[in-house]
Amino acid sequence: MPDQRVTQPLPKAPTGIEGFDDLTFGGLPAGRPSLFCGSAGCGKTLFATTFLVNGATRYGEPGVFMSFEERAEDLAANVASLGFDLDGLVAQGKLAIDHVRVERSEIEETGEYDLEGLFIRLGFAVDSIGAKRVVLDTIETLFAGFTDPSLLRAELRRLFGWIKDRGLTAIITGERGEGQLTRQGLEEYVSDCVVLLDNRVDDQITTRRLRVVKYRGSAHGTNEFPFLIDHAGISVLPVTSAELDYAGPTGLIFTGIDGLDAMLGPGGFYRGSSILVSGTSGTGKTMLAASMVDAACRRGERCLIFAFEESGGQIARNAASIGLDLDAHSKSGLLRFEAARPSLYGLETHLARIHRDLDQFRPDLVMIDPISALRGPATELQAALLRIIDLIKTRGITAIFTTLRSDGSLITDHDLGVSSLMDAWVKLQNMEANGERTRTLYVIKARGMSHSNQIREFLMSSGGIRLIDAYIGTAGVLTGTARIVQEAREQAEAQRRQQENKRRLREVVRRRAALDRQLEELRASLEAAEDEEARLRADDEWRMAADEVERRELIARRRAAE
């Protein structure tokens, strides 16, 4: 591989096909022929037509379509559904279509001949509109029309040389052959760029794939890439990016469910994180996710829902029952549903569709409901999921994946495999006890934030989703009716205790009042006693004083008598 930084980079002609120009780092080799091979119906002609139409409309490079199979009017009709107006382009002089009809029965051969007629016609068409691009579709048909293959080979070699000399960027299509890329081994002559298109059926599901077999003088993606053909034309998706260099987003995204936000340390999930909502059927996964979507839409963010089990209308209707008006968001253009049965396409095609829709719609929040619906061989499934997650993550989009838990209590391999890729995992569980089921919710993990490790009861009503703290106490964890019964019991107990307290309080008050009364009486007695004592003492003093006087009088009297 030559070093691109030192040598002059190979000039390239962009095809304008989404993804293809990325994986070839710019497009097809400019001024050279490229070979597109594949079996019937794999999209060769469409690829080639798109190359020409984009050249004419976007890059100012007129093109010549030399068709060896379809007539010009058939060709125009076939691609009209993609919005290509071939007739219009022909009228504007941006496109020339020449149908080369070759049928063996019509031509007898005698002696030497060459394909100068083809050269002349191609040259004439190229000169008439100043074409820079050429498509030869499918030139191998010539081998059916002429008997001398060695002559044809020599002429084709000359033709490809001629294309190169004229500096035309060309696509040559070829049917897939046994043991080689094309039936007639065209790859020997067109050696600059060879692209293989494939239409593979696995488990009755078709996936279109594309591989750049060789690209002389240029780096290119070497893997097989899925591609799509639908009303939007061709899109090729280099979806194997395995890098982990996305920025760690820090903003918060609120779930719209107060109770759930409250369970998370920062008060919401991190923006750009992947959130797994797991639970068996009927646990409310879709509605939980729909609540988050609704909250996002109400904040004015764009949301994209990939639904694999229900139609968009059904999800919207069901969400309406818990008071979410998703229809209004659809109408305002903030919300888009992409519903498809998982079995409709192969994994790769689903992946490709998701890729394309993400780039077209540019959502802030994506909901995939449920990823467990995607079917395929275990190894492929794991890889595909990984790529879906990467795809979303690298774009900084917050994603909610729902998954059905096949097993009620144990973590199955599948979940384990996916959950390790997720940043947050909310587990919904039906608890069965006392003849009833109650929805419960745990936050199993939330990377980079503290979160509640406790169970919450999960209620859905016309007012939306509400989380209630489950009863956790001496009687264990109780939910539903059991919780209500236990709560009632506790309430009764509390009331009883309260009444008992009041009674005792009253008694104490009474007793205290009695004591107070006694105290009062005693105090009165004490006062009486004190009075008595004082009176007695006063009496005593008076008597003593009187006695003294009397004694003195006696003495005085005695002296007088002396």
Q: Which of 48, 125, 131, 205 binds another protein (CB under 8 A)?
A: 125
Q: Which of 30, 90, 102, 386 binds another protein (CB under 8 A)?
A: 102
Counting contacts by CB under 8 A, is residue 26 touching another protein? no
Counting contacts by CB under 8 A, is residue 106 touching another protein? yes
Distance of closest approach, residue 40 Cβ to another protein, in angstroms? 23
Distance of closest approach, residue 51 Cβ to another protein, in angstroms? 22
Counting contacts by CB under 8 A, is residue 91 touching another protein? no
Judged by CB under 8 A, the stretch of 116-124, 250-258, 287-295, 347-355 that binds another protein is 116-124
Residue length of the chain: 562
Residues near another protein (CB under 8 A), total: 26
436-446 and 169-175: which strand pairing?
unpaired
Judged by CB under 8 A, the stretch of 100-108, 157-165, 369-377, 464-472 that binds another protein is 100-108
- Rounded distance between C-alpha atoms, residue 395 and residue 420, angstroms: 20
Amino acid, res. 151 = L
Nearest CB to another protein, comparing residues 108 and 165: 108
Task: Compute the radius of gyration of the chain from its Cα atoms.
Answer: 46
Nearest CB to another protein, comparing residues 120 and 509: 120
Counting contacts by CB under 8 A, is residue 111 touching another protein? yes
Counting contacts by CB under 8 A, is residue 146 touching another protein? yes
95-99 and 205-215: which strand pairing?
unpaired
Counting contacts by CB under 8 A, is residue 123 touching another protein? yes
CB-count burial class (<10 Å; 0-12, 13-18, 19+) for 422: buried
Q: Which of 7, 8, 110, 409 binds another protein (CB under 8 A)?
A: 110
Q: Which of 53, 118, 239, 400 binds another protein (CB under 8 A)?
A: 118
Backbone angles phi, psi at 508, to 5 degrees: -60, -45
H-only helix segments in 377-479: 378-394, 413-419
133-137 and 63-67: which strand pairing?
parallel
Which tokens belong to 244? 């982990």
Judged by CB under 8 A, the stretch of 139-147, 259-267, 408-416, 452-460 that binds another protein is 139-147
- Rounded distance between C-alpha atoms, residue 307 and residue 367, angstroms: 8
Q: Which of 114, 516, 520, 533 binds another protein (CB under 8 A)?
A: 114
**Measuring CA to CA, how many Å separate 515 from each of 274, 413, 428, 509?**
73, 76, 63, 10
Counting contacts by CB under 8 A, is residue 101 touching another protein? yes
CA 17 to chain centre: 25
Counting contacts by CB under 8 A, is residue 98 touching another protein? yes
Q: Answer whether 257's CB lies under 8 Å from 288's CB.
A: yes
Residues that bind another protein (CB under 8 A): 98-102, 106-118, 120-121, 123-125, 142, 145-146
